[in-house]
């Protein structure tokens, strides 16, 4: 009799990650150099900042709808749909005559990101166990972030040798292949989701959004996830898109050198992602996120004072380490905070965060560069990243489940196929947003565990500390 454990990554997830690798190689091939390409198209630093602010508006809207479509259509179907639309943008980018048309192409490509980003977290969560989820997120994000090593130097070398248009053509061909693979996956693999085409209407969208908005406004973990992620969004949008331009104009690096430095950032991200997943599982998301913000802040500080290729390279490595600690920790935290059927919307909000506040950030970053100094947006980013540590440390405390004896049993529910924790809360407690009370009463931290086993029993109790029911003396 074999005691072998199931693989950390199943077949569907391995294929899924393979497509992520190809897609992100294509994306990073020119996103790494996009600000430099816009400069070549005639855009000044203020227009480049405006470009990314407008793109952020489009991304925010698409993220909100994308998370909902992920939940309604299924993860793989949503990814396939987004990839087909994005292919048009990738091909169109090859032929853009100015930065305005480049913006149109990028917005089309964002359709893929808006559908893939929330689907990625939800799909990985569904394909992993509670005990190993941090490791799976670490391995998954580390594997596909190999693009951070491969894509940028390819882009730099192709651009230096043949020009931007040839590089963009190679990226478009690669992404088209990816879209075909994803379409095949949507038909080949079971999505482990019930598809609800009847819910593709505006009324259903509003109804579905109320649940996640209630979580956001509730003042709990989801609220503070979005607050801290919002601070980081504001910070990194101030300067992130200006980094390649800074390396070219201030650091005097050519496109090939920028590509190689960017690859070091991706390599650091990839190598730290798995140990970061272990850190999450061993200690907590709180430790990993706080440490990640501190490391990113230190890397940006070094970036500001850098005067040569090797100092810039070291700064990029440190920044990559910081982001490699942040990403799997945040993904794991969101997966534990909401029920499975709401994860697509939750990841959509997580990715967009307090997007309405952060939307002007790229434009503001360009203005700060032009009005004060090129170093100013990067200094402000470093300060805000360090500031984010405070709410993370105060609010992301490990949650402990109350002792069972603190709850008086009223009834028990026999779990059947199709049961959802929010429906049980609505049935027995009168409010689907009170699902966390059922989790507490049954000694589970992840809402999905409550209804994950058909035939198990769910205790329906009075609020903690109130005597009565079957347990009352």
Q: Number of folded domains in the chain? A: 2
Instruction: Say yes or no: 442 and 353 in one domain.
Output: no
Residuewise pLDDT in 10s, the chain (473 residues): 445 565 666 677 778 778 888 888 888 887 888 888 888 888 888 888 888 878 877 777 776 677 667 667 777 788 888 888 889 999 999 999 998 899 889 888 887 777 777 677 667 767 666 666 666 766 776 666 666 678 888 888 899 889 889 999 999 999 999 889 888 887 877 654 444 444 444 455 454 555 555 555 544 555 556 666 666 667 677 777 788 888 888 888 888 888 888 888 778 877 776 676 666 666 667 777 788 888 888 999 999 999 899 999 999 899 888 887 776 666 666 666 655 555 555 555 555 544 555 667 788 888 888 889 898 988 888 888 888 777 776 766 555 556 767 778 888 888 888 777 777 887 887 777 677 678 777 877 666 677 777 788 888 887 766 655 444 44
Note the pLDDT of residue 2. 47
Residue 2 included in any domain: no
CATH number reported for the structural domain that contains residue 447 in this entry = 3.10.350.10
DSSP string for residues in 114-167 = HHHHHHHHHHHHHTS-TTTHHHHHHHHHHHHTTHHHHHHHHHHHHHHHH-HHHH
Q: Report d(CA 282, CA 295) in Å as an integer.
A: 20
Here the tokens at position 422 are 């929010």
Q: Report d(CA 324, CA 344) in Å as an integer.
A: 22
CA 151-302-244 angle, 5° bins = 35
Instruction: Say yes or no: 425 and 380 in one domain.
Output: no
Instruction: Say yes or no: 391 and 408 in one domain.
Output: no
Q: Report d(CA 171, CA 25) in Å as an integer.
A: 8
Instruction: Say yes or no: 46 and 88 in one domain.
Output: yes
Residue 4 included in any domain: no
Instruction: Say yes or no: 17 and 110 in one domain.
Output: yes
- Looking at 74-129, list the stretches that DSSP marks H as alpha helix, in order from N- to C-terminal side: 75-93, 99-126
Would you call 195 helix, strand, or coil by DSSP?
Answer: coil
Query: Of 395, 419, 446, which one is at a domain's C-terminal end?
Result: 395
Residue 448 included in any domain: yes
Residue 138 included in any domain: yes
Q: Report d(CA 400, CA 396) in Å as an integer.
A: 12
Residue 1 included in any domain: no
Here the tokens at position 244 are 């390649």
CA 371, 376, 377, 383 torsion-angle sign: negative
Residue 6 included in any domain: no
Instruction: Say yes or no: 158 and 284 in one domain.
Output: yes
Beta bridge partners of 470: none
Distances (CA, A) of 84 to 170, 254, 459: 17, 33, 46
Note the pLDDT of residue 304. 92
Instruction: Say yes or no: 365 and 413 in one domain.
Output: no
Here the tokens at position 259 are 């590509």
Length of the chain, please? 473
pTM equals: 0.61
Q: H-helix or E-strand containing 58?
A: helix 45-73
Instruction: Say yes or no: 66 and 168 in one domain.
Output: yes
CA of residue 431 relative to chain centroid, distance: 29
Q: Report d(CA 139, CA 34) in Å as an integer.
A: 28
Instruction: Say yes or no: 239 and 115 in one domain.
Output: yes
Residue 344 included in any domain: yes
Domain enclosing residue 408, as ranges: 404-471
Q: Report d(CA 280, CA 133) in Å as an integer.
A: 9
Residue 109 included in any domain: yes
Instruction: Say yes or no: 419 and 277 in one domain.
Output: no
Instruction: Say yes or no: 162 and 106 in one domain.
Output: yes
Instruction: Say yes or no: 462 and 337 in one domain.
Output: no
Residues whose CB falls within 8 Å of the CB of residue 425, separated by 6 or more in sequence, listed in order: 431, 432, 433, 434, 435, 437, 438
Note the pLDDT of residue 435. 72
Contact of 154 with 22, CB cutoff 8 Å: no
Of 55, 43, 35, 40, the C-alpha closest to 247 is 35
CATH number reported for the structural domain that contains residue 167 in this entry = 1.20.1250.20
Note the pLDDT of residue 472. 42
Query: Of 354, 369, 395, which one is at a domain's C-terminal end?
Result: 395
Query: Of 335, 362, 395, which one is at a domain's C-terminal end?
Result: 395
Beta bridge partners of 458: 413
């Amino acid at each position: 009799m074999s005691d072998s454990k199931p693989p950390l990554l199943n077949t569907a997830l391995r294929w899924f990650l393979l497509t992520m690798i190809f897609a992100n190689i294509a994306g990073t091939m020119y996103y790494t150099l996009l600000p430099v390409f816009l400069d070549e198209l005639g855009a000044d630093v203020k227009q480049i900042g405006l470009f990314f602010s407008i793109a952020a508006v489009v991304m925010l809207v698409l993220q909100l709808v994308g998370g909902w479509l992920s939940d309604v259509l299924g993860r793989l179907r949503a990814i396939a749909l987004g990839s087909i639309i994005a292919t048009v943008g990738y091909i169109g980018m090859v032929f853009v005559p100015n930065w305005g048309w480049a913006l149109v192409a990028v917005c089309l490509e964002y359709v893929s990101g808006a559908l893939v980003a929330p689907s990625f977290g939800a799909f990985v969560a569904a394909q992993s166990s509670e005990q190993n989820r941090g490791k799976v997120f670490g391995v998954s994000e580390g594997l596909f972030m190999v693009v951070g090593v491969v894509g940028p130097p390819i882009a730099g070398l192709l651009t230096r040798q043949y020009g931007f248009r040839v590089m963009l053509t190679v990226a478009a061909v690669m992404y088209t292949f990816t879209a075909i693979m994803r379409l095949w996956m949507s038909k080949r693999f079971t999505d482990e989701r019930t598809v609800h085409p009847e819910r593709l209407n505006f009324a259903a969208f509003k109804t579905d959004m109320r649940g996640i908005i209630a979580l956001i406004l509730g003042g709990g973990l989801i609220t503070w996830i979005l607050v801290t992620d919002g601070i980081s969004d504001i910070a990194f949008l101030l300067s992130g898109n200006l980094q390649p331009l800074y390396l070219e104009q201030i650091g005097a690096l050519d496109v090939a050198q920028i590509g190689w430095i960017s690859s070091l950032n991706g390599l650091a991200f990839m190598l730290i992602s798995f140990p970061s997943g272990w850190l999450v599982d061993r200690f907590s998301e709180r430790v990993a996120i706080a440490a990640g913000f501190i490391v990113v802040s230190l890397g940006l500080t070094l970036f500001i004072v850098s005067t040569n290729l090797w100092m810039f390279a070291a700064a990029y490595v440190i920044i990559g380490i910081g982001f490699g600690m942040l990403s799997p920790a945040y993904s794991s935290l969101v997966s534990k905070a909401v029920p499975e059927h709401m994860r697509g919307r939750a990841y959509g909000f997580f990715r967009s965060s307090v997007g309405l506040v952060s939307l002007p950030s790229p434009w503001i970053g360009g203005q700060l560069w032009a009005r004060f100094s090129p170093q100013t947006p990067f200094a402000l980013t470093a300060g805000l990243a360090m500031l984010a540590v405070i709410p993370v440390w105060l609010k992301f405390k490990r949650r402990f489940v109350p002792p069972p004896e603190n709850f008086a049993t009223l009834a028990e529910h026999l779990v059947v196929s199709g049961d959802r924790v929010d429906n049980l809360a609505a049935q027995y407690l009168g409010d689907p947003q009170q699902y966390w009370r059922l989790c507490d009463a049954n000694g589970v931290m992840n809402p999905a565990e409550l209804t994950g086993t058909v035939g198990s029993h769910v205790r329906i109790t009075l609020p903690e500390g109130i005597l009565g029911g079957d347990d009352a003396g």
